[in-house]
Structure 1
Amino acid sequence: MDVVTTAGGDSTATARTWPDVLSTLIAGRDLDVDDTAWAMDRIMQGEATDAQIAGFAIALRAKGETVSEVAGLVRAMYEHARVIEVPGATVDIVGTGGDRARTVNISTMSALVVAGTGARVVKHGNRAASSASGASDVLEKLGVNLDIGPERVVEVAEEAGITFCFAVKFHPSLRHVASARRELGVATPFNLLGPLTNPARVRCQATGVADARMAPIIAGVLAERGSSALVVRGDDGLDELTVTTTSQVWEVRGGAVRQETFDPRDAGVALAPIEALRGADASYNADVARRLLAGEKGPVRDAVLLNSAAALVALEPEPGDKPLADRIAAGAARG
């Protein structure tokens, strides 16, 4: 068991200023990876004001993030992170949030189901930033102790097959963006970073993305790092595989990305209205999780099994070109 801590420093020696960075973005020009890492490094070190943070986040989002820019943000995040090493093959199930649909915590329940199959899950998450209930909010209501250090997080993974990396414990520098992010109240580039900065550096993941424009960007970042992943977005806007309609899936394998449409009916799942997935506060969503784990059936269970299956497909990619629907159906049957 190794726990490694990396400290931040300047991401590049070149002199840069906030006016340089913001002017470039406002002009609609892309930043290179070093420029983006420089800006994020300033933020992570607490050397940016809330106005600079908000301006950077909104200008980058309005221009449209590139793979290189997101990679630069991720690089700087990891430079300031507490990184851990969890033995064996691991998988994360995580969403960007920001879909504003106020559904129950599908990815959190899916993580528990995947762990029940014998897979090792390292879930990375935080409190809700723009929704009523985040992963950590629900897990606390379920009795999970989030106030543990990196060493214990690794031990729990080895003992229980599932562990949770509370973002504020592993990315303490994120405290510098909390105020600006909360006041903005909308999805920003920071929403993209959680799924890409798991402290265990998982190589397999199922990642939900609310912004259709950003799904292929996230898939591109994962492809560059050699991950095996399914990046998904419901055509109803959910950052999950949905059961209300079809979903778009970007499968990342061998450094390449392939997009296709997934219809839950092809995996034997009936369509349901979005209202069937609605959640509320953490207490309500935790109660839904308890009922699901006790065997309650319905659209929530269907959605959880589909997203659990997506994680298993990423963790255990099959050779050849077996249809995605067949692979997801097989994974759902294991849940």
Structure 2
Amino acid sequence: MVPISILDLAPIVAGGTASDALRNSLDLARHAEDWGYSRFWLAEHHNMPGIASSATSVVIGHIAAGTSRIRVGSGGIMLPNHAPLMIAEQFGTLESLFPGRIDLGIGRAPGSDRLAARAMRRGLDSDGDNFPELLDELRAFLYGSGTLGVRAVPGEGLNIPMWLLGSSGFSAQLAGELGLPFAFASHFAPEYLLPALHLYRSHFRPSSVLDQPYAMVGISVVAADTPEDAQRLATSQQQQALSLIRGRPGKLQPPVDSMDGLWTEEEKEMVRRRMAYTIIGDRAAISDRLQQIVRETGADELIATGQIYDHHARLRSYHILAEAAGLRN
């Protein structure tokens, strides 16, 4: 089995607080380190009542300070929201504090709606078309030895691994052309996964970073000791997907015995398509589907997320996943 990492959304559950979410994320990261996961990444989202990782660089520092070995990073930082110099300095600071443990995953999407974009002072006409220029600027600050006339201190000259993240072909092709590792968000854009991986590999050019493509595939996993328990736990994630489809994001809801009556047949099908790379089941089912996904995609690494309401059930899910994948600490 390929290496497996975790993408944590620091979920704020119904009845819980952001403080609870961040405390639980650190607890999960500590367990993940013991169970043999490779990385623990956090995602930038804004104006989302159920996600506590909006200040992503700050949360990365919190997780890295509470662990000792596991790599910690962003999955990802939404570069159009930020001045590249600020990201270079933030991640230069993180790398200086936690040498050899920080990953910088960069995304092109805003991770927000138009109101949040206005609050962040982003141009409302921005559609990500200037992403390559922003990325060039960030890379110049980190690797360019002051070529822009402004130096990122700390940041410049530090060996911070940079990844491109995406849910379409744009970042896939760009990552290939730049010779960077690429991570695809198939946990919410499954229909584009295989075409994006083909674009990445077909456009790959060796670089000082990589001599051959390295693709990470995002999946979602809800595991439990029985298939029935896993299916019930997964209704929290299904409710969350439904709320996003309806444009009403909220806190992560407790599981229910049945989704019947909560969604229409059309909405049920939309959620089903969205969760094409979600694995729900016991250890045997998880192991079988993991191997199938690796065969289908040729993934060099998997990164798993799992929106589970109860923290202890979430820990158990990731423990089962580690067992199913044969991870070792």
Q: TM-score surpassing 0.5?
A: no
Q: What's the TM-score bracket when you normalise by the shorter of the two chains?
A: 0.3 to 0.5
| TM-score, scaled relative to structure 2 | 0.33
